[in-house]
Copies of this chain bind each other. A is one copy, B any other.
């Protein structure tokens, strides 16, 4: 983790460093993904099953592609009792937070008798992608599914790649079941995204696809965007910690390390006004890394994208943080709430010494699906908003329309749209 002392004129373009993590060209991958999508569109299930054989090394049928209720029952036996309780508790807490995001249809009436408003309708069908591979994404299931449940989405489908014996990690199945999901399909990669976007003989087209995935999944999601809606495309994860001289170096080091263990592209940034804290964090990182299991990934990540910056003031720290627009921001200063109003760009803001980012990953309540790679400048955490759509509502009576009729006609004619003007005129031509 390199240290740059801005107060001594050292500089680093950290924004550029982080942005460079995002590949600028996907080259061949895009062609591969386009072909997979086309094949699934043309051939449906048979294309999916072929890809499952090819990529996941297991041959399924249209029937065995779907997880049975027996498999779910068996999964409960394979997951330990305590974890089941924790998953249930996490789901409850995440549900309670997201319930507060719920939006309602509204209307307003005017004195001229007109009514205008907004009707909220949940999306009808949503597909949740859960990655396979070595990592287990139990918490992802909760974070992706619960906002859709709160929104009132009736059909939620999970797809996830099977292992080479045709099975799904039992934790995933248990989490899905706790969230009430009945339709789980054993398919992964771009082929699963294509199936959700266009439908097959057995899989219904969905309205929106959410969930993280590898490069094939990400490119497939981008390719089908417009046919369906998608959540934002997840990039490498990042945390930024703002610290002053009162901050606890041990805690900060631990939080930076928890980010670094995700993968070698993850980024951990510390911005502090205290030279002493910077030094102590560095020592703590060395001490703690030594006993952590994923120390190789952590070291690679910290070497590549771990940066400590020493600044003159917390104001400077906030300015840099706003430029970076981190996915996770921890404010570990004496008075974290004093800085919070100045934070413009951050996916999730964790305040104080006892709000470590991993709390938010699992149990706090707010969503852990957050905008990465500086997109917190314009994107938001996954929320109930992602699973509803709005229709505007307008009702005018004769008098209300008449009062505006000249204006509409005049405006329409100024845009040379006389059939627009005509639609007002025909209503009053006998007046």
Residues of A within 8 A of B (CB): 82-83, 86-87, 89-90, 97, 100-101, 106, 108, 114-116, 118-119, 121, 123-124, 135-139, 171, 207-208, 222, 225-226, 228-229, 232-233, 250-251, 253-255, 257-258, 260-262, 288, 292-294, 298, 329, 336-337, 340, 343-367, 370-371, 375-381, 383, 385, 389-398, 400-401, 404, 407-408, 410-412, 414-427
Contact = CB atoms under 8 A, between A and B. Distances in A.
| Oligomeric state, in copies | 2
Contact of A116 (B343, B364, B400, B410): B364
B100 A377 contact: no
Given A346-B391, A351-B393, A411-B362, A357 B260 contact: no
B288 A400 contact: no
Contacts of A116: 97, 364-366
A343 B124 CA distance: 12
Contacts of A139: 411, 415
A419 B348 contact: no
B255 A423 contact: yes
Nearest to A97: B116
A396 B348 CA distance: 14
Contacts of A82: 410
A152 B188 CA distance: 42
A396 B354 contact: yes
Given A121-B345, A137-B415, A362-B412, A422 B292 contact: yes
B407 A351 contact: no
A333 B248 CA distance: 67
Given A378-B207, A395-B355, A400-B354, A119 B423 contact: no
Contacts of A389: 345, 371, 376-380
Contact of A376 (B262, B337, B358, B391): B391
